[in-house]
Amino acid sequence: MAGLTRPGAGPDRMLGPPDNRAVTLALGSTSAPEMVSGGWTKASNLVVPTTGWAAGAYTFSVELSSIDLGAAQQVAQASDTLQVSGSIVVPSVPYSPQYYREDCEEAVLEMQLAHQGIMLQGNNVQSQADILGAEGVDQSVPGIGPAYTSGDPMQNFIGPPNGLQSSSYEPGAYFGAVAKAAVHFGATIVAAGENISPQQVYAYVEEGHPVQAWVTFDFQPYSAVILGNGRDSWPWAGSHEHSVLVLGVGVNSVLIDNPWDNTEFGAQYPGADQWVPMSVFQAAYATYFDMALVIR
C-alpha cells in the first residue's frame, strides 16, 4: 500500500522543466522480506517525476505486509519527503512568429493582445502590419542608431520593418511606441518602461500577465549607451536589440516565446516554449535597462 500527499496545483501551475527527484524508502524492519513485489528491497530508491507539480513539500509513504499464510504477518513501513520547486506558466497564450525581419516587438504584442482576447483581423502578416500602422513607421532613417536620433523609437517604429541592420543601426521600436499601439487596440497598460526589475517581471507572470521584455538577440550581455533627441531618450547597444514574451518562471529558469523561430544569424532560444536559464535572461534583459511592457 502506498500513499502520496501533495499540495493541490492551481490553474496556473503548468508544465515546467524536468524536475525529477529521488525518494529513499528504507524499510528498516529486520523482519521485512528481502525482496518484495515490484522489486523493493529493505532500502530502495524511487525516482518520482515531479514535472508539473506545484511548489511545496510532499510526503511519500509505503507500507508492505507479507501474505505468507503459513507465518505470522510481517509489516514494514517507510516514508520520505521531497521539496519540489514547481513552475508557473501563464496559460492560453497563442504563439505568433514575426513575419517581418525586424518586427519582433509587434509579434510579441500580437501574442499579448491575443492573450487578452483582442484578436486582430487576418493572419500574422496583416496583424503585425496593423500594429506597425498603429505605431507609425518612420523610414526617414534606416534604423535606431547614434547617427539617426531624428528617428524616435519611443514614438514610432524606426526604419523599414523588413530592412537590414548594420553595426551602426537596427530597425525597431521601444516600449513607448509599442504601448501606443496596445492602447490603440483596446488594451490597458499595466507597466511600461525601463527599470522594471526581473523580480517585478516574475511577479507579473505570477499574476497571470505575460510580459514583453527587451533582450539581446543572442542572449549575450552588452553595454548600452543612452541616445536621445531632446524629447525622449533610449538605450543603444549595437544591432542586438530583440524582444521576447516571458510567460513562465521556474526556480532557476524563465519560459519565453521568442518570435524569431529559427537559428539564423546566431539566434538563441528560438521559437515557442523555450526555457532560458534565469541568469542568462537577466543579463540580456539588463542590456536595455530592464525594459518591459505589460498589458491587460
Number of domains in the chain: 2
What are the φ/ψ torsions at residue 126 (nearest 5 degrees)?
Answer: -70, -40
Give 117's contacts (C-beta < 8 A, 6+ positions apart).
Answer: none
Q: Are residues 61 and 166 in the same domain?
A: no
Q: At which of 86, 117, 137 does a domain end?
A: 86
Q: At which of 53, 86, 119 does a domain end?
A: 86
Over the range 241-270, which residues count as b (16 or more CB within 10 Å of their CB) and which as e? bbbbbbbbbbeebbbbbbbbbeeeeebbbe
- Residue 291 is part of a domain; what is its CATH number? 3.90.70.10
- Neighbouring CB atoms inside 10 A of 45's CB total 10
pLDDT by residue (tens digit) across 35-83? Answer: 444 555 555 566 666 655 666 677 777 776 665 555 666 666 777 776 6
* Domain of 21, in residue numbers: 2-86
Q: Are residues 266 and 230 in the same domain?
A: yes
Q: Are residues 212 and 250 in the same domain?
A: yes
Q: Name the DSSP letter for residue 264.
A: G
Q: Are residues 142 and 70 in the same domain?
A: no
Separation in Å, CA 107 to CA 40, 78, 81, 181, 195: 53, 53, 44, 12, 23
- Neighbouring CB atoms inside 10 A of 200's CB total 15
Q: Are residues 20 and 140 in the same domain?
A: no
Q: pLDDT tens for the chain, 296 residues: list them.
A: 333 333 333 333 334 444 445 555 555 444 444 444 455 555 556 666 665 566 667 777 777 666 555 566 666 677 777 666 678 999 999 999 999 999 999 999 999 999 999 999 777 889 999 999 999 999 999 999 999 999 999 999 999 999 989 999 999 999 999 999 999 999 999 999 999 999 999 999 999 999 999 999 999 999 999 999 999 999 999 999 999 999 999 989 999 999 999 999 999 999 999 999 999 999 999 999 999 999 99
Q: Are residues 75 and 189 in the same domain?
A: no
